[in-house]
Amino acid sequence: MKAITENKNTSQAARKVEINGSKSILLKHLARVVLYSTLILLAVIQVFPLVWLLFFSLKTNQEIFNTPALSLPLNPHWENYVKVWTQGNIGVYFFNSIWITVVAVFVTILLASCVTFAITRMKWKYKDFVLGIFMVGLMIPVHSTLIPLFSFFKSVKLMDNPMSIVLTYIAFNLSLTIMILSGFYYTLPKEIEEAAIMDGCSIHRMFFQIILPMTTPVVVTTAIINMIYNWNEFVFVNTFISSDKYKTLTVGIQNFVGQYSTDWGAIGATLMISVLPILLAFFILSDRIIEGITAGSIKG
């Protein structure tokens, strides 16, 4: 009788475990469904403006005002893109955005890497103070410096000169770049440098041939962050640059909108051209961003 009771208790316990296991699996599936549904909803919300802008850029004024916003163009007007590229001076603005962004990002990364290497890997008296000076730059509102910078560039005759934009981008991106790089540099093992010194490696060779290649993931991350800021920046270009031949896309679009205020399809095409490069770069290198951000913690 006792054996029968024990078997019954065992079977009931097993049944309870099985029920609890089924509930746990059900809850996991439900949580996964909720998670993916939320992510899909967020993705749709993010993609919606881009889809709308693409359709907008391929329509005529009549289609824009007389058809639903997300309706497909009846006859896609790709000539809107040709018009803005040939007649709207967008090609010049596009080229200016590219070279100014590339030069500013390259110099910023190079200078920030040198500063970070000196602060985190070398021993000297005032390195903490110097790092603190750079970090103060993160607390300065960028556009509060417009008037001082305007006066400075005017006094050194750099107004209406692309170098004023490049120097401004470098100066304001250095602090954030150094902060991101330093978290990675602190985790690099000292043994690598000790081995290089024993092999007769100089400081400069050690930095450029050993340390800098090792920091590629975080360098790519900071480069993308700088590129996004430089490409989308508007206020400094609008303040310091007045000639059309030096303007970037952000300011050039403003002029184009004023010039072709009734051709909404062409305006949509200019906006699409300005969005695509940075969007493609982000999608292509998004894995690098995550890798660079997490590299320091993983190595630690």
Question: pTM score > 0.85 for this model?
Answer: no
Q: Are residues 108 and 217 in the same domain?
A: yes
Euclidean distance between CA atoms 199 and 84, whole angstroms: 58
Is pLDDT at 117 greater than 80 in this prediction? yes
Is pLDDT at 272 greater than 70 in this prediction? yes
Q: Is residue 228 a part of any domain in this protein?
A: yes
Tell me, what CATH number does 99's domain have? 1.10.3720.10
Q: Are residues 275 and 224 in the same domain?
A: yes
**208-257 per-position pLDDT tens digit:** 888 888 888 888 889 988 998 899 888 999 999 988 889 998 887 776 66
What is the pLDDT at residue 2?
47
Report the phi/psi class of residue 104: left, alpha or beta, with left for phi > 0 and alpha for psi in -120 to 50: alpha
Euclidean distance between CA atoms 42 and 94, whole angstroms: 30
Q: Are residues 50 and 184 in the same domain?
A: no
Q: Are residues 271 and 141 in the same domain?
A: yes
- Block residue for tokens 């010194």: 197
Q: Given pLDDT bands bounded at 50, 70 and 90, which one contains residue 300?
A: very low
Query: Is pLDDT larger for residue 70 or for residue 3?
Result: 70
Euclidean distance between CA atoms 35 and 27, whole angstroms: 12
Q: List the one residue out of 176, 109, 170 whose CA is nearest residue 136.
A: 176
DSSP-derived secondary structure letter, 78: T
What is the pLDDT at residue 178?
92
CB 219 within 8 A of CB 185: no
Q: Are residues 14 and 129 in the same domain?
A: no
Residue-number span of the structural domain to which 166 is assigned: 89-299
How many structural domains is the chain composed of? 2
**12-61 per-position pLDDT tens digit:** 555 655 566 666 777 788 888 888 899 899 888 888 888 888 888 888 88
Is pLDDT at 151 greater than 90 in this prediction? yes
Q: Are residues 282 and 158 in the same domain?
A: yes
Radius of gyration of the chain (CA): 28
Euclidean distance between CA atoms 175 and 138, whole angstroms: 6
Euclidean distance between CA atoms 282 and 275, whole angstroms: 11
Above pLDDT 90, what percent of the chain?
Answer: 21
Residue 159 backbone phi and psi in degrees, to 5: -70, 145
Among 234-248, 264-278, 279-293, where is mean pLDDT lowest?
Answer: 279-293
Give whichever of 109-113, 126-130, 183-187, 196-200 has the largest mean pLDDT.
Answer: 109-113
Above pLDDT 70, what percent of the chain?
Answer: 85
Max intra-chain CA distance, the chain: 104
What is the pLDDT at residue 299?
47
What is the pLDDT at residue 107?
96
